[in-house]
Amino acid sequence: MSGRSDVGFEEMVKLDLVYIRNRSIWLDFKIMIKTVKQMIFPKKMLIKD
């Protein structure tokens, strides 16, 4: 699962195209599960100085 702020524009477009080509109710469900998991168990954010 990649956050939009973690990737550049080209990668964002690639991810959108992959989603469009493979969209289904199951893919949406998988994305929702990953989102909830990330909200409950967030990864540590890297802070750059």
> How far apart are the C-alpha atoms of 16 and 19, rounded to whole Å?
5
For residue 33, what pLDDT band results from cuts at 50, 70 and 90?
Answer: very high
For residue 41, what pLDDT band results from cuts at 50, 70 and 90?
Answer: confident
> How far apart are the C-alpha atoms of 22 and 3, rounded to whole Å?
19
Query: Is the residue at 48 inside a domain?
Result: no
Task: List the domain range (segments joined by +) for residue 32.
Answer: 4-40
For residue 48, what pLDDT band results from cuts at 50, 70 and 90?
Answer: low
pLDDT of 14 reads 94
Query: Is residue 42 packed enough to be buried (19+ CB in 10 Å), middle (13-18) or exposed (0-12)?
Result: exposed
The structure's pTM equals 0.62
Query: Is the residue at 14 inside a domain?
Result: yes
Q: What is the number of domains present in the chain?
A: 1
